[in-house]
Amino acid sequence: MSSQEALDIETSTTALTTELWAASGQNALESSRILVISGTATSTSILKNLVLPGIGSFTILDPTKVTPEDAGNNFFLEGPSSIGKSRAEEAVRLLCELNDSVEGKADQRSLEEVLEKDKDWLLEFTIVIAHNLEPGSLDKLSSLLWQDPAYPPLVVVRSAGFVAEFYIQYHEHTVIESHPETAQSLRIDKPFPALLEYSMSLDFENMDVTDHAHVPYIFILVRLLEEWKKTHNGNPPTTYAEKQKFKKSILAMRKKSDEENFEEAEAQAYRAWTPTTVPSEIKALFSDPKVLSLTTSSPPFYHLLYALSKFVEEQPYHALPLTSTLPDIKASTEAYIHLQKLYKKRSEEEKEIFKGYLKVEVPEDMIDAFLKNSHALKLLRGKRWGALDADPQALASAIESGPKQVATHLALTALATVAAKQQPNAPLTPSVEDLTAAAQALLPPGTELPEEFPAAVGEVARSPTADLPNTAAFLGGLVAQEVIKMITKQYIPINGSCVVDLIDTWTGVL
């Protein structure tokens, strides 16, 4: 690849990523520090997908030299000329060519040495990624990083031939910008005073034909719903017949048959009778122990949640704060701008009310993002790596809901169990029988292995140490995507083990 080609990729990738997670996400990426343990083909594929969008820096921790197998599998080694050289240094050098703004470092210490002599160094990173680590070292690493919620999350990646899985170890993960498909309520059923007043003031009968065809549907629905309530005891349309009658009244207001704004109002009529409520998932967050036991040292997310709960409880609409974000609407520029100003003014008023419930100072941009996404906040709580394997009954239950995923997971865990019993640096050549026995031992007595287990264990026995380029490339994209979600705290990361089978080409979450 030429330097110009690399620059073109970098430029296009940066533009795309800015669209995906905006400036706040890009800033989080650019200040992140990634530690990758082992310079395998899979590790470098993951890093490629993190270097291109612009992480701050990365370190590869790997004491090994490049082998012929590495040179044949890893695109970020220079074939035979890399053999015998430091695998970490070679990979770092070539990965850094992808993006001049990213700093890469090679550390040729072993993980065992770091765990023994320099544990605190591991805590300096934003996130730690480990691929195919020796089971004993992995257990020590996961135990260390689990000791404190403030320590970095750990991404455990395991692969053998065409099967793989990865798992993110974290205590909790809060997401404000989850990028939901659903939008905030426009509160057509609970219009704020200025919206109601303007909607009722419109003189549709005497309005110019052109202006009539460009009234935003929100004004139309607010007006008609208010008139409907006056003749229906204050209630919106409830039965199917009433809803159909309401829709017909919308179309009956047209002066011409091709007025698209009225057609849009009919299509959006459900907003008039859909009650504006607080989603049950958000209500549940109000009762979270960390909200109920709030202190001045609590993370900002919980202070924002507390303020939101008080806003919903005490404000007359008992709804989430209004957002000024509006959908695309068939309207004239003048009418749309007026509508936007109404919503913006009201959202600013409600924002000030919301801020009055905060007990600590919170950055203004964080408040804005929180209010904009208050209908889709996420609070995820994770488990330590290995928690599932330590619970035989949970594994047995998982077989019923996800037998394919459990089969691959058991095969990979069995490989780790067998590998842990071998002498250091001894060739890993497990038999299907040994792997099956190790997998069976993880389950409660009498529990049968999934029907899919023989296929999974066969692949693991066939290629226990094979780091195949196509599996590495696929994992590289998947894992990097989840790592970016963790760093930017945008979108919703996988909570559990993501299992990959490239023989039958499927992925699943366990």
The CATH code of the domain that includes 129 is 3.40.50.720
Which residues pair with residue 107 across a beta bridge? 61
Distance CA 406, CA 414 (A): 12
Distance CA 326, CA 323 (A): 8
C-beta separation of 335 from 216 below 8 A: yes
Within a 10 A sphere around the Cβ of 101, how many other Cβ atoms?
A: 13
Which amino acid is residue 502, in one-letter code? L
**Confidence check: pLDDT of 234 > 50:** yes
Secondary element (H or E) of residue 366:
helix 364-372
Q: Residue 3: inside a domain, yes or no?
A: no
What are φ and ψ of residue 88, in 5° steps? Answer: -65, -45
Tell me, yes or no, whether 64 and 46 share the same domain.
yes
Which tokens is 403 given?
A: 């037998």
Mean pLDDT for 310-319 is: 95
Confidence of residue 13 (pLDDT cuts 50, 70, 90): very low
Which of 329, 197, 202 has the alpha carbon at shortest distance from 262?
A: 329
* Angle at alpha carbon of residue 265, lines to 259 and 270, rounded to 5°: 160
Widest CA span in the chain: 91
C-beta separation of 91 from 59 below 8 A: no
Tell me, yes or no, whether 66 and 157 share the same domain.
yes
Burial class (CB in 10 A: 0-12, 13-18, 19+), 184: buried
Tell me, yes or no, whether 314 and 452 share the same domain.
no
| Total tally of structural domains belonging to the chain | 3
Tell me, yes or no, whether 174 and 31 share the same domain.
yes
Tell me, yes or no, whether 306 and 425 share the same domain.
no
pLDDT digits (tens, 9 = 90+) for 142-175: 999 999 999 999 999 999 999 999 999 999 999 9
Distance CA 89, CA 106 (A): 5
C-beta separation of 60 from 108 below 8 A: no
Distance CA 347, CA 186 (A): 11
> What's the Cα-to-Cα distance from 290 to each of 174, 294, 296, rounded to whole Å?
12, 6, 12
Confidence of residue 5 (pLDDT cuts 50, 70, 90): very low
C-beta separation of 143 from 117 below 8 A: no
Q: What secondary structure does DSSP assign to 6-72, as a single string? A: HHHHHHHHHHHHHHHHHHHHHHHHHT-EEEEES--HHHHHHHHHHHTTT-SEEEEE--PBPPHHHHH
Structure confidence at residue 427 (pLDDT): 80
DSSP state of 105: E
Q: Residue 117: inside a domain, yes or no?
A: yes
Mean pLDDT for 368-376 is: 94
Distance CA 170, CA 496 (A): 10
Which residues pair with residue 378 across a beta bridge? 175
Q: Residue 170: inside a domain, yes or no?
A: yes
Q: Residue 502: inside a domain, yes or no?
A: yes
Within a 10 A sphere around the Cβ of 431, how many other Cβ atoms?
A: 11
Which residues pair with residue 165 across a beta bridge? 158, 499
Strands 506-509 and 497-501: antiparallel
CB contact burial 301-328 (16+ within 10 A = b; e otherwise): bbbbbbbbbbbbeeeebebbbbbbebee
Tell me, yes or no, whether 32 and 164 share the same domain.
yes
C-beta separation of 243 from 269 below 8 A: yes
Residue whose structure tokens are 């060739």: 427
Tell me, yes or no, whether 472 and 454 share the same domain.
no
**Confidence check: pLDDT of 121 > 80:** yes
Q: Residue 284: inside a domain, yes or no?
A: yes
C-beta separation of 186 from 158 below 8 A: no
Q: Residue 189: inside a domain, yes or no?
A: no
Share of the chain above pLDDT 70, in %: 96
C-beta separation of 128 from 141 below 8 A: yes
What is the pLDDT of the chain when averaged over all its residues? 93
Q: Residue 4: inside a domain, yes or no?
A: no
Distance CA 482, CA 155 (A): 9
Tell me, yes or no, whether 300 and 357 share the same domain.
yes
Total residue length of the chain = 510
236 CB-near residues (< 8 Å, 6+ apart): 189, 225, 228, 229, 272, 273
Confidence of residue 2 (pLDDT cuts 50, 70, 90): very low
pLDDT digits (tens, 9 = 90+) for 34-46: 999 999 999 999 9
**Confidence check: pLDDT of 1 > 60:** no
pLDDT digits (tens, 9 = 90+) for 429-468: 889 999 999 999 999 999 999 999 999 999 999 999 999 9
Distance CA 99, CA 367 (A): 33
Mean pLDDT for 493-500 is: 95
Q: Residue 136: inside a domain, yes or no?
A: yes
Q: Where are the beta strands (DSSP E) in 220-377?
A: none
Give the rounded distance of the alpha carbon of 81 from its chain centre: 40
Tell me, yes or no, whether 290 and 438 share the same domain.
no
Tell me, yes or no, whether 362 and 405 share the same domain.
no
What are φ and ψ of residue 137, in 5° steps? Answer: -65, -40
Distance CA 20, CA 17 (A): 5
The residue segments making up the domain with residue 121 are 15-178+465-509
Tell me, yes or no, whether 62 and 161 share the same domain.
yes
Tell me, yes or no, whether 478 and 439 share the same domain.
no
